[in-house]
Structure 1
Amino acid sequence: MDKELRSRQWFGRKGKDGFIYRAWMKNQGIPAHELQGKPVIGICNTWSELTPCNAHFRELAESVKHGIYEAGGFPVEFPVMSLGETLIKPTAMLYRNLVSMDVEESIRANPLDGVVLLCGCDKTTPALIMGAASVNLPTIVVSGGPMLTGKYRGQDISTSDVWRFSEAYRSGVMSDEELFVAEACMTRSRGHCAVMGTASTMACMVESLGLSLPENAAIPAADSRRKVLAHLSGSRIVDMVNEDLKLSDILTRQAFENAITVNAAIGGSTNFVIHLLAIAARIGVDLGMDDFNNIKNIPLLANLQPSGKYFMEDFYYAGGLPALMKELHAVLHRDSITVSGKPIEENYLRSECFNRDMIATMDKPFNLLAGIVVVKGNLCENGAVLKPSAASPALMNHTGRAVVFENIEDYKAKIDDPNLDVDETSVLVLKNVGPKGYPGMPEVGNMSIPKKLLEKGVTDMVRISDGRMSGTGFGTVVLHVSPEAAIGGTLAIVQNGDIIHLDVAAGLLQVELTEDEIIRRKGELQPFENLTSRGYVWLYQTHVEQAHLGADMVFLKGGSGTGVLRDSH
């Protein structure tokens, strides 16, 4: 290796400075030769017992360490803030940018030559990549893996069934006791959600971008092969440091286009859009909302919940993401470089599919409807997103009367009210759940069907909001409306009874109001006020960008580089 190790700026010094850096590392029992001449590899760990998806990461980190030692590097594990989607309030998305700041500063300020990112739950993956991208050291990602498929009364279940169970419970079909039993049956092993929710989508995003070794996306967390992959990743990051293979070498425009293509074929989460936009802005790749429209007409190849019937465990046994990417060979940028140092086609060309009902071919796809559709119109000038494979075909071109909820509290108070003026043709509209308005843009966009309609057998309606939806959710749901209501977007002035028209094929979302009426109503809006005047939430609400830009903070776009701010010793 020609380039001097970055860690030498700390451990290779003479006199007082080197004394301080080495001495305080030696109090952990580290001999001097470990600190001089070996690549120092940081293991960025989002382990936390408050993040159940990532609760096995201390064990996984040990496998990474074995690989680093084997390849001649020296591992140092460090914690960063961890986001558990299931527990944190008001929403994990509020803190994604904070975690990215933690990661960026932890990497840049410390004597690291390369980094292994350990991530699993929804926001930990994009947050870690965003932070690492802004520093741009050699980096490899190891995902935590999906949990094993749930088993309940002879049926396979997963996180997607939460929404079905909820509607069954609300309509009286499912009892408290049955719901209690089901929750233990669903989460029966370590790992993140067992379907193509956001966590699995992020793991697939990582592999399709070229940031991980092959098969990272789908190996179950409980499978010993997950530890083997972690070990191999630890070995590989040492080689990456020696080759000076950085994130900017991998995260090219072509890599992002590959990720978008793969996301269409797997039926990935709509959250993919907001996270990929944020990552692209950190590494300096020009990516916009229109890039996510399925212009290549990629069909749905993965028969996975919530768009299909199988689970991530089945996906792995069928050949995993390499087998699916092999079907996309003709439409991928095959020469995009990955963390292996080789073109991405090397990751999948020798793979095989072992279940054609699970992974379909381009000639005989599982569903012709796939990807994410970006719609625009006077209701969302900067765009909104919808996932066709999870929607009802009959509602893809729909005109209906708006039933408006001004905020999440208004929605909760009214949705089950028997006097709610709503029918199955109505369009449910939820305001003020965007990045600034909530704050943090929660996963409340897939609003429940009003109880009075559930009892009539209605299972889907057009729903529109400036919030997000869980990747495990489904339905004809329009999300990420931009500009959001809180900053005076047209969504803010929609009233009960206004006529809304959705035409997915035409990429159109309109409220049938004249331009003069829209201007008049906007003139009556009250100015937005931050929820608080202090701390991170104030910082977020003051500086967060809109959904169509990735909902990052404006001052975090781009990179800080590898240099430290000041040399204190």
Structure 2
Amino acid sequence: METLQLRSRNWFGRTGKDGFIYRAWMKNQGIPADMFEGKPVIGICNTWSELTPCNAHFRELAEAVKKGVLEAGGFPVEFPVMSLGETLVKPTAMLYRNLVSMDVEESIRANPVDGVVLLCGCDKTTPSLVMGACSVNIPTLVISGGPMLKGHWKGKDIGTSDVWRFDVAHKLGQITPQEFVEAEACMARTQGHCAVMGTASTMATMVEALGLSLPNNASIPAADARRKVLSQLSGRRIVEMVKEDLTLSKILTRKAFENAIMVNAAIGGSTNFVIHLLAIAGRIGIELNIDDFDKYSQNIPLLANIQPSGENYMEDLYYSGGLPAVIKEMKAIIHNDAITANGKTMGENCAAAEVYDRNVISTMQQPFKPESGIVVVKGNLAPNGAVIKPSAASPTLLKHSGKAVVFENIEDYHARIDDPALDIEATSIMVLKNVGPKGYPGMAEVGNMALPKKLLEQGVTDMVRISDGRMSGTGFGTVVLHVSPEAAVGGPLGLVQNGDVISLDAHNRTLQLEVSEEELAVRRAAWKQTEKMHTRGYVHLYQTHVEQAHLGADMDFLKGGSGSEVARDSH
């Protein structure tokens, strides 16, 4: 084992006082002496927290990982990092994604671990943990928490995407307040993250498509015993990865990122995928830009009939063959030779996969929907790009011109959206400013603005909405997001005024503000920053260093991995 040059030997392999200290204090946990004799030390990075309900079952998964590590001759050590509960953290979990990545990076770098298993499930826990691990670049394997089982309410299957439908029905008096509350427990009835292809499921799919997990990680339900089996097998495998020196940089090649983009298109993944994959690429040192998401999504239809783009749920995807079955359908275009965490290629992992339900997983020749993926639109309103998800949009609105109804910030939106006097029509385009990375701060999921009550009462179900913020992966509608540069830094979005005509043409990838350059120059000269810039703490650090959405909204000083150097001795 010494020939492996394990990082942990710089701690536990020492003689004299230093070795004594490193081993003695660990032994107070009842660890036998032979555990320190050259066994690969496997860190289990756990985002368990009762404030992160999606990850509340991770103590059990961690125990399963430990079993696997011990069976393979490794030494498991579990450690916590900051956990981000999407449903509870204010002002938005995205504000703290980069902070958690720093926590993960420094926790790994400073401690005697040779390989790491990342336990992540809720939306931001996955990209933050992967980003942090990339910056250290040691053997790493990801385990997602798995989706909750689909809910049942009044004889119907329900999931997180129904939150938006329940909200509309409640506003219109179609369901009572009591029924609204009753639906809460009916929807979130088991452990796990959202049951639909929201951001959490998209991130689980992303890591499997990148090759960072064992096959079927993406869709095994959290409540299914096979999630624990996968965790135990992952514990065994990470020990072998250390012996093989199979580091993240060997898996996260350009081909891996292209695979992830193509698979995301086929499964109707969240637009948040763009901003997280860009950040991961920046950490591991792979050249990736926003246009790649359009390029590699083109001509890939929607194969997975999963909400919010479809009808079914993540557990249905698993029962129908899981992600390997989807990827096998794409074998003619995917990089089948991309290496994955189990040492096999993507093609080898999917070769034996079968589709058991064509209502859930369709073929490339007869897809569920012809349009999918992420479309990147550019123009004078979004010089650096903005994104839209066609599979969740209304086809008739993908090419649309209308007059802008402008909300200067989220407070302005909440104050006026249901005002009967609001000057808005079904053909209007709703514009929300100052909800980007610096402006919110943190780029909140407020882009899929709820429609005005008076239009809902008229039967309007969708409108074009544009913002520099994000949208929940569980949401749907014709929503243009991630407009870059954002309003808070003087981007063109900040210059839009009520009544301006905006033209969206997703088919031709354009987003244009129909205002003359002369008029825009006048507005630009008069523009003043209105959003508060914080002067202390992490939020100040974030606002000072966060990059724009088209670059992944990571901090500028975190891009580029620096390897797994051993921390300087302090004894």
TM range (shorter): over 0.9
2:437 corresponding residue in structure 1? 435
1:68 corresponding residue in structure 2? 69
Q: Is the 8 A contact 1:210 1:250 kept in 2?
A: yes
1:448 and 2:450 are equivalent in the alignment: yes
1:364 and 2:366 are equivalent in the alignment: yes
Counterpart secondary structure, 2:521 = helix
1:500 corresponding residue in structure 2? 502
1:411 corresponding residue in structure 2? 413
Letter matched to residue 492 of structure 1: G
2:357 corresponding residue in structure 1? 355
Q: 2:130 and 2:121 mapped to 1: Cα distance?
A: 12
Counting only pairs closer than 5 Å after superposition, residues 53-452 of structure 1 correspond to structure 2 as 53-295=54-296, 296-452=298-454
Q: 2:16 and 2:55 mapped to 1: Cα distance?
A: 41
Q: C-alpha displacement at 1:390, in angstroms?
A: 0.3
Deviates more, 1:510-519 or 1:101-110: 510-519
2:476 corresponding residue in structure 1? 474
Q: 2:349 and 2:221 mapped to 1: Cα distance?
A: 19
Q: Is the 8 A contact 1:530 1:541 kept in 2?
A: no
Q: 2:380 and 2:513 mapped to 1: Cα distance?
A: 7
1:557 corresponding residue in structure 2? 559
Q: C-alpha displacement at 1:531, in angstroms?
A: 3.5
Q: C-alpha displacement at 1:552, in angstroms?
A: 0.3
Q: Is the 8 A contact 2:294 2:375 kept in 1?
A: yes
1:11-54 alpha-carbon deviations (Å, 9 max, x no partner): 00011110110010011111111012100000000000000000
Letter matched to residue 459 of structure 1: T
Q: Is the 8 A contact 1:264 1:294 kept in 2?
A: no
Q: Is the 8 A contact 1:487 1:528 kept in 2?
A: no
Letter matched to residue 448 of structure 2: N
Q: 1:174 and 1:292 mapped to 2: Cα distance?
A: 40
Counterpart secondary structure, 2:406 = strand
Q: Is the 8 A contact 2:445 2:469 kept in 1?
A: yes
Note the residue ranges of structure 1 that are not aligned, 5 or more in a row: none
Q: C-alpha displacement at 1:473, in angstroms?
A: 0.2
1:527 corresponding residue in structure 2? 529
Letter matched to residue 38 of structure 1: K
Deviates more, 1:170-179 or 1:326-335: 170-179
Q: 1:129 and 1:113 mapped to 2: Cα distance?
A: 16
Q: 1:226 and 1:123 mapped to 2: Cα distance?
A: 20
Q: C-alpha displacement at 1:172, in angstroms?
A: 1.6
Q: C-alpha displacement at 1:529, in angstroms?
A: 5.9
Q: 2:529 and 2:208 mapped to 1: Cα distance?
A: 43
1:40 and 2:41 are equivalent in the alignment: yes
Letter matched to residue 551 of structure 1: A
Q: C-alpha displacement at 1:227, in angstroms?
A: 0.2
Q: C-alpha displacement at 1:221, in angstroms?
A: 0.1
Q: C-alpha displacement at 1:532, in angstroms?
A: 2.1
Runs of 4+ in 1 over 6 A off after TM superposition: none
Counterpart secondary structure, 2:529 = coil
Q: CA RMSD in A?
A: 0.8
Letter matched to residue 394 of structure 2: S
Q: 1:307 and 1:337 mapped to 2: Cα distance?
A: 30
Q: 1:566 and 1:22 mapped to 2: Cα distance?
A: 18
Q: Quick one: which of 486, 501, 512 aligns to 2:488?
A: 486
Letter matched to residue 339 of structure 2: I
Q: 1:443 and 1:394 mapped to 2: Cα distance?
A: 24
Q: C-alpha displacement at 1:517, in angstroms?
A: 1.2
Q: C-alpha displacement at 1:7, in angstroms?
A: 0.3
Letter matched to residue 326 of structure 2: L
Q: Is the 8 A contact 2:7 2:566 kept in 1?
A: no
Letter matched to residue 381 of structure 2: L
1:482-523 alpha-carbon deviations (Å, 9 max, x no partner): 000000000001000000000000100010011121111011
Letter matched to residue 218 of structure 2: A
Q: Give the TM-score, by structure 1 length.
A: 0.99
Q: C-alpha displacement at 1:560, in angstroms?
A: 2.8
Q: 1:561 and 1:248 mapped to 2: Cα distance?
A: 10
1:50 corresponding residue in structure 2? 51
Q: 2:409 and 2:175 mapped to 1: Cα distance?
A: 29
Letter matched to residue 353 of structure 1: V
Counterpart secondary structure, 2:4 = coil
1:435-490 alpha-carbon deviations (Å, 9 max, x no partner): 00000000000001111100000000000000000000000000000000000000
Count, aligned residues: 569
Q: 1:356 and 1:77 mapped to 2: Cα distance?
A: 41
Q: 1:531 and 1:519 mapped to 2: Cα distance?
A: 25
Q: Quick one: which of 542, 545, 555 aligns to 2:544?
A: 542
Counterpart secondary structure, 1:293 = helix
Q: Is the 8 A contact 1:118 1:142 kept in 2?
A: yes
Q: Is the 8 A contact 1:294 1:372 kept in 2?
A: no
Counterpart secondary structure, 2:228 = helix
Letter matched to residue 198 of structure 2: G
Q: Would the alpha carbon gap of residues 185 and 554 (structure 1) be closer, same or farther in structure 2, given more than 3 Å must change?
A: same
Note the residue ranges of structure 2 that are not aligned, 5 or more in a row: none
Deviates more, 1:557-566 or 1:88-97: 557-566
Counterpart secondary structure, 1:103 = helix
1:465 corresponding residue in structure 2? 467
Q: Is the 8 A contact 2:434 2:531 kept in 1?
A: no
Q: 2:295 and 2:321 mapped to 1: Cα distance?
A: 24
Counterpart secondary structure, 1:444 = coil
Letter matched to residue 186 of structure 1: M
Counterpart secondary structure, 1:280 = helix
Q: C-alpha displacement at 1:3, in angstroms?
A: 2.3
Q: 1:565 and 1:181 mapped to 2: Cα distance?
A: 52
Q: 1:500 and 1:530 mapped to 2: Cα distance?
A: 28
Q: Is the 8 A contact 1:218 1:320 kept in 2?
A: yes
Q: Is the 8 A contact 1:294 1:371 kept in 2?
A: no
Counterpart secondary structure, 1:519 = helix
Letter matched to residue 436 of structure 2: G
Q: Is the 8 A contact 1:530 1:542 kept in 2?
A: no
Q: C-alpha displacement at 1:525, in angstroms?
A: 1.1
Q: C-alpha displacement at 1:527, in angstroms?
A: 3.5
1:276-328 alpha-carbon deviations (Å, 9 max, x no partner): 00000000000000000155410000000001100001110000100000000
Q: 1:347 and 1:182 mapped to 2: Cα distance?
A: 39
1:92-141 alpha-carbon deviations (Å, 9 max, x no partner): 00000000000000000000000000000000000000000000000000
Q: Is the 8 A contact 2:146 2:218 kept in 1?
A: yes
Deviates more, 1:529-538 or 1:355-364: 529-538
Q: 2:453 and 2:391 mapped to 1: Cα distance?
A: 25
Q: Is the 8 A contact 2:93 2:124 kept in 1?
A: yes
Q: Would the alpha carbon gap of residues 528 and 244 (structure 1) be closer, same or farther in structure 2, given more than 3 Å must change?
A: farther
Q: Is the 8 A contact 1:71 1:238 kept in 2?
A: yes
Q: Is the 8 A contact 2:67 2:235 kept in 1?
A: yes
Q: C-alpha displacement at 1:232, in angstroms?
A: 0.2
Q: 2:309 and 2:202 mapped to 1: Cα distance?
A: 13
Counterpart secondary structure, 1:135 = coil
1:27 corresponding residue in structure 2? 28
Counterpart secondary structure, 2:51 = coil
Q: Is the 8 A contact 2:84 2:125 kept in 1?
A: yes
Counterpart secondary structure, 1:156 = strand
